[in-house]
Structure 1
Amino acid sequence: MKFKMGVYIGIAVILIAGGSLLIAKGKDAVSQAENRKQGTLEAEQKIMMYDKSPGTIVQVNKAVGEAVQKGELLCKVKSAEGTEENVLALETGQMSKIVVKPGDPVAQGMPVAVIQKSAYYTDLYVQEGEIQKLSIDQGVKVHFPYLDHPDQVHGVVASVAAAPQFASLRMTRERGQADLSMFLVRISVDASPDLLPGMTAEVNLDELAD
């Protein structure tokens, strides 16, 4: 009986010591979960504004969903003076929304269309203890875990907030520990045929150099 009790105590000591070592190294399940940052893949958009004299839309050259090249004609406007003005695309991408139709009046500063640019990004919230691992223009691996064939693409740190946005409750808490200050980090992501806005993007902070 005493031998069995000694064995149980020995196993318990080993498990506790092993768990403590993993926690110290940041390899326990809680730490790993905290270091896998997930965000939603977003597409950058450009609002096309009419910047000439007031007039009336006489022609719309694009439909929603069509590809758009920078400098391509989007629509034509007949000004109050009788001249014809061209509204040209300022970005390459895809037509996301058309605000006007033939016959609509337009004035300077009014939106006429929205172009979804061929560039993606995701916003992540990183705790203060890990934020020093990230710097502007740093390359990072971005994972997409819920694709049928999990994909990994190249990303670049586009911005890091200068101040924390909020405090997050710790998953585990020791006495006297404060909540974690979280910083907003934007990651620009290379375009890929498999990627669509709304997908879950993930960055593993353990893959970054200290």
Structure 2
Amino acid sequence: MKIKVGIYIGIAIAMIVGGSLLVVKGKDAVSQAESRKQGVLEAEQKTVFYQKSPGAIVEVGVAVGDSIKKGEVLFKVKSATAGDIDVFAPDDGVINRMIVKPGDQVQQGVPLVILQKNNYYTDLYIQESEIQKLGVNQNITVHFPYLDHPTQVMGVIASISAAPQFANLRMTREKGQADLSMFLVRIRMNSNADLLPGMTAEVKLDEVTD
């Protein structure tokens, strides 16, 4: 029993020491995201709302996982005042979630479906000392270094905003380290057959172009 307790204590000490070294060397996830300019690939999503006269859904033309094109009929609604109403897809994408079903009563403002658009984005944290290198609407190459065949796509800087919560996170994680002014940079890009939401995206600031 004493041997097992000793082993567990040794493992715990090793984990604590290892974690401390990672923080000191800046190798934890937060520091890596900052220093290597890495973020997580996300897919833009859009909720489709019903905007016509009240009625009942009589036909559903899509299912979760279906790829759709802009203008495709998603639902048919029977309205007492307006007759038959078609609800069209507002964008290309994939059906992520169905909110209604045949027979449901709908009125203006009711959500019908969540659409995963064919547009991806990643959010990156950039230090104040480097933010002047970037501007909204500039092009930048986005790398995906952990694929079997590393892939890169062209992205566009969509927005730049202050991110004080990131600096606060650093202060609570790294005692004694000075607070830093950070900026949140969102980069948008088109979908790609090789890419999936959740993948690691990485940029190099010297690859920015107008």
The CA deviation string for residues 156-205 of structure 1, in whole angstroms up to 9 with x for no partner, is 111111x33331538xx9x9x73211111000123211001111111123
| Secondary structure class of the residue paired with 1:169 | helix
The code of the aligned residue for 1:196 comes to L
The CA deviation string for residues 112-157 of structure 1, in whole angstroms up to 9 with x for no partner, is 1111111110011111111111101111111112111111111111
CA distance in 2, matches of 1:82, 1:182: 53
Residues matched between the structures, number: 176
CA distance in 2, matches of 1:184, 1:165: 9
CA-atom RMSD, angstroms? Answer: 2.4
Map of 2:115 onto structure 1: 115
Map of 1:95 onto structure 2: 95
Tell me how far 1:207 sits from its aligned partner: 4.3
CA distance in 2, matches of 1:158, 1:127: 17
Map of 1:164 onto structure 2: 163
The code of the aligned residue for 2:78 comes to K
The code of the aligned residue for 1:153 comes to V
| Secondary structure class of the residue paired with 2:181 | strand
CA distance in 2, matches of 1:87, 1:207: 43
Aligned residues of 1:55 and 1:105 also touching (Cα < 8 A): yes
* TM-score normalized by the length of structure 2: 0.76
Tell me how far 1:208 sits from its aligned partner: 4.7
Tell me how far 1:70 sits from its aligned partner: 0.8
1:4-83 equivalences under 5 Å are 34-81=34-81, 83=83
Q: Unaligned 5+ residue runs, structure 1?
A: 1-28
Tell me how far 1:67 sits from its aligned partner: 1.3
Is 1:106 matched with 2:106? yes
Aligned residues of 1:35 and 1:205 also touching (Cα < 8 A): no
The CA deviation string for residues 2-42 of structure 1, in whole angstroms up to 9 with x for no partner, is xxxxxxxxxxxxxxxxxxxxxxxxxxx96x95431111111
1:82–1:52: structure 2 CA closer, same or farther, 3 Å change rule?
closer
Identity level (%): 57
CA distance in 1, matches of 2:89, 2:190: 22
Larger Rg: 1
Tell me how far 1:82 sits from its aligned partner: 6.5
The code of the aligned residue for 2:133 comes to K
Aligned residues of 2:143 and 2:202 also touching (Cα < 8 A): yes
The CA deviation string for residues 34-82 of structure 1, in whole angstroms up to 9 with x for no partner, is 4311111111112110011111110000111111111110001111337
Map of 1:16 onto structure 2: none
The code of the aligned residue for 2:57 comes to I
CA distance in 2, matches of 1:122, 1:188: 7
| Secondary structure class of the residue paired with 2:137 | coil
CA distance in 1, matches of 2:189, 2:180: 27
Map of 2:153 onto structure 1: 153
CA distance in 2, matches of 1:151, 1:181: 31
CA distance in 2, matches of 1:81, 1:154: 48
Q: Unaligned 5+ residue runs, structure 2?
A: 1-24
* Structure 1 segments (4+ residues) deviating >2 Å: 32-35, 163-166, 204-209
CA distance in 1, matches of 2:107, 2:92: 24
The CA deviation string for residues 97-119 of structure 1, in whole angstroms up to 9 with x for no partner, is 11111111111100111111111
